[in-house]
Structure 1
Amino acid sequence: MMKLSTSLSSLLAILSLGSVTVLGQSTNLNDVAKSAGKLYFGTETDAGTPEMSDSQFVALASNSAMFGQITPGNSFKWDSTEPSQGQFSFTLADELAAFAEKEWSNSSRYERLLRHHFLHRIFNNVYILGHNCVWYNQLPSWVSSGGFDSATLTQILQDHVTTVVSHFTGQIQLGCSQRTFQRRWNAAFIRLPDTLGQSYIDIALQAARAADPNAKLYINDYNIEGSGAKASAMLSLVQDLKSRNIPLDGIGLQGHFIVGELPSDLQSTLEAFTALGVEVAYTEVDIRMTLPETDALLEQQQKDYQTVVAACMAVENCVGVTTWASWIPTTFSGQGDALPWDENFQTKPAYDGIVAALG
């Protein structure tokens, strides 16, 4: 989710296992993260995607010592869950949940989790994070082009959030967060802010809380990882929501970075949010480089991954880090190699940077 805008998004996971070696990787990130006091180290994938037919990827993604959380890339988004008005489908979302239940069912030791977190289902202490309820870029056309008035759109939003959250209540702790600030509103993509104004945030969060009072609700956004106008606007939004008792439990900072271009104030930005009484997490981390890769770029990427994870480690209420696995087999606009694994799912120097920060 690299676009700026409005959405209802995602977060969280955990598991404990003995040391497991997958593809020659003997240091398991989730185990190390938990030992260091965090809730999880996670990854993203989804049902029906090419990587899920790749045995190497499945071995990596299903190693619960490596990943204690999994974020679905698309199967929880509005165009998947309600492609036609009032007609809901959870085929892909349920398929991913079944994958988690199957692949992580042989965990050797379990922990009883005493906390409930935003948008997760626990399978042997592994979270699935429902990502996301609403996002401007993958709305079905009946929403984006419906021309609904305020009252009708309010009811549509309430019905959608309530149905999605209720489907997973008691299974996935499914909450909704929305990416709120954008450089420009694009009516071709999203009608919610055009029609409802900022009240759509209240409507969505309140509907999610009513559908599942135990869910933790996050706002998830990008370009808020360092100080600036957008981060300031998000801080103001958090303050406003809290002052009016609108339910909000956390902020997800996506973490789509470029090698050598990290904000210099990652930790203090996390602390600014937690000071307002919310949790934080890095939810979609990738650090891309302009291709082809070089030894110098790989070295810098290692330092950058270490810096990002270290920022979370330094903040008590930063609960975890999730990497965005869709970058593994692909590049984007001449950029790529954004993850700690290469196209053959072997670790890169960035992996060592993560381990160093977690340790």
Structure 2
Amino acid sequence: MKVHHSLAAAVLASALILPTAAPALAAQHQAPRPPGIEKQDTLRWVAPNDLKIGTAVAGGGHHETQPYPAPFPNDREYLQHLAAEFSSVSPENQLKWEFVHPERDTYRFAEMDAIVEFAQENKQVVRGHTLFWHSQNPAWLEEGDFSKEELRAILKDHIQTVVGRYAGKIQQWDVANEIFNDNGTLRTTDNIWIRELGPEIIADAFRWAHEADPKAKLFFNDYGVESVNAKSNAYLELIPRLQAQGVPVDGFAIQGHLSTRYGFPGDLRTNLQRFDDLGLETAITEIDVRMDVAAGTQPTAAQLEKQASYYQRALDACIAVEECNSFTIWGFTDKYSWVPVFFSGEGEATVMWNDFTRKPAYYALQESLEQASPGRGNR
């Protein structure tokens, strides 16, 4: 087995935040922050202790085709805000199969190692994303001629190698990602694992992850499950059945890729509560709120107000549910958002503009976090 280490030293060296005040701040056990941003004026500071405020760490995927260096670790201003604002980080693409496992006998860990190191330096937790998915798999896997036994061994090796490498360093894992169609049926066509190995392989994925790191919390993660619907109902039925078989499922995560062209999912809190009632942890893991914005124009004040309302209502729903302990924005600046690359005519989906100035959505989140702090934890 070959592991890429050649980039690790350079990536780690440039990833760490080193503003002039950093040594003093570290000595005071405070997270570094950009010059001019007071600690008391960041999302992570105003949040209650029992709620992690996270973001995706931009890199891999669509970023590799864009006309800029990898945001992490090359954009220093980006790194400063990443450290200052968030208590949790998730790799946007750096742990997806095509990135971290580009050839059968090759793992590419340098970038993820750097993210973990960055998180440790800045007192952040890490969510792992993702181990079992139908998308962003490498060609060698999807086009390979493997027997069922070989394919099962490949999946087990991947899960235990990746989870084992970060045991004790990654607190939560999206083990199985997007396994259901919108109508609540399993993805038996486009998910290579379910198609070739049967539904039972889902339980094995959780078991293998648990063996590699017994302390990590293991989640299902999906989009389109914000509401009470066929897809979320399928998870509500599946998870207790797996748990009855001794499968270590700890949580259910809702992605939350929203658009202002559609109504807000008003039953989000009710839906989260259904899973909380099962004794599960819950999380909102990939939220963004895209808007219809024509090329060369800016969103209107009314659009920004609506976007802010969606972000705030989603956060309020999480805060209202006891075991919803993680709220992650899928990228915090429009400068690096995936949305305009994949949704033609839509964009401006994050809480900061390209220059890292704050949108109304940022202040809406800050307001809800400030209001929640007295009842949810001590600063």
TM-score w.r.t. the length of structure 2 is: 0.78
Q: Is the alpha carbon distance of 1:24 and 1:17 closer, same or farther for their aligned partners in structure 2, counting shifts above 3 Å? A: closer
Equivalent residue, structure 2, for 1:42: 54
- Quick one: which amino acid aligns to residue 365 of structure 2? I
What letter matches 1:270 in structure 2?
L
Helix, strand or coil: the match of 1:94? helix
Q: Quote how far apart the aligned CAs of 1:81 are.
A: 2.2
State the partner residue of 1:263: 265
Structure 2 counterparts to residues 20-59 of structure 1, below 5 A: 24=37, 27-34=41-48, 37-46=49-58, 50-52=70-72, 53-59=74-80
SS class of match (2:161): helix
Alpha-carbon distance between aligned partners in 2 of 1:303 and 1:176, rounded to the nearest angstrom: 27
Counterpart in the other structure of 1:307: 313
Corresponding residue number in structure 2 for 1:72: 91
**Distance change in 2, residues 1:172/1:24 (3 Å):** closer
- Note the aligned Cα RMSD (angstroms): 2.3
- Does the Cα contact within 8 Å between 1:226 and 1:264 map onto a contact in 2? yes
Q: Distance in 2 between matches of 1:350 and 1:320?
A: 18
1:334 is aligned to 345
When structure 1 is superposed on structure 2, of 297-306 and 83-92 the one drifting more is 83-92
Judged with a 3 Å threshold, the aligned counterparts in structure 2 of structure 1 residues 23 and 341 are, in CA distance, closer, same or farther, namely farther
| Counterpart residue number, 1:289 | 291
**Mean Cα displacement is larger for which, 307-316 or 148-157?**
148-157
Q: Does 1:231 align with 2:232?
A: yes
Spell out the pairing of 1:133-152 with structure 2 (5 A cutoff): 133-152=131-150
Match of 2:8 in 1: none
- Once structures 1 and 2 are overlaid, which stretch shifts more, 84-93 or 281-290? 84-93
Tell me, in whole angstroms, the C-alpha distance in 2 between the residues paired with 1:244 and 1:334.
Answer: 46
Task: Check 1:228–1:178 CA distance in 2 against 1; reply closer, same or farther (3 A cut).
Answer: same
Q: What is the CA–CA distance in structure 2 between the aligned matches of 1:101 and 1:87, rounded to whole Å?
A: 26
Q: Which residue of 2 aligns with 1:81?
A: 100
From the superposition, tell whether residues 252 and 335 of structure 1 become closer, same or farther in structure 2 (CA, over 3 Å): same
Partners of 1:279 and 1:317 within 8 A in 2: yes
2: CA distance between counterparts of 1:166 and 1:24?
Answer: 37
Shift in Å, 1:324: 0.8
Structure 1 runs (4+) deviating above 6 angstroms are: none
Deviation at 1:159, TM superposition (A): 1.3
Q: 1:242-265: CA deviations, max 9, x gaps?
A: 221211001111110112521110
Quick check: which one's helix share is greater?
2
- Equivalent residue, structure 1, for 2:278: 276
The Cα shift of 1:326 comes to 6.9
Q: Is the deviation greater in 166-175 or in 133-142?
A: 166-175
1:42-89 CA distances to partner (integer Å, 9 max, x unpaired)?
1111456533333321211121xx200111111111122222223222
Are 1:243 and 2:262 counterparts?
A: no
TM-aligned CA deviation for residue 97 of structure 1: 2.1
Q: Residues of 1 paired with 2:333 and 2:200: CA distance?
A: 34
Hey, what's the Cα distance between the residues in 2 that align with 1:191 and 1:151? 14
- Structure 1 range deviating more: 332-341 or 78-87: 78-87
Residues 132 and 60 from structure 1, CA distance in 2 versus in 1: closer, same or farther, beyond 3 angstroms? Answer: same
Match of 2:377 in 1: none
Say which is worse superposed, 132-141 or 346-355, in terms of deviation: 132-141
What is the alpha-carbon distance in structure 2 between the residues aligned to residue 327 and residue 152 of structure 1?
42
| Larger deviation, residues 86-95 vs 323-332 | 323-332
How big is each residue's C-alpha offset from its partner over 1:153-211, in whole Å with a ceiling of 9 and x where there is no partner? 22221111111111112333464521210258485x54211111211211110101111
In structure 2, the partner of 1:117 is: none
Gaps of 5+ in 2: 1-28, 64-69, 372-379
Contact 1:80 1:90 (8 Å CA) reproduced: no
Identity fraction in percent: 33
Q: 1:98 to 1:19 in 2, by over 3 A?
A: closer
Q: Distance in 1 between matches of 2:103 and 2:32?
A: 46
Change (3 A) 1:231 1:130: same
- 1:289 aligns to what SS in structure 2? strand
* Residue 321 in structure 1 maps to residue 327 in structure 2: yes
CA distance in 2, matches of 1:337, 1:90: 31
- Which of the pair has more CA radius of gyration? 2
Structure 1 residue 97 corresponds to structure 2 residue 109:
no
Q: What is the aligned partner in structure 2 of residue 167 from structure 1?
A: 165
In the alignment of these two chains, the number of paired residues is 318
**CA shift at 1:32, angstroms?**
1.6
TM-score of the aligned structures, taking structure 1 as reference length: 0.82
CA contact (8 A) 2:51 2:325 kept: yes
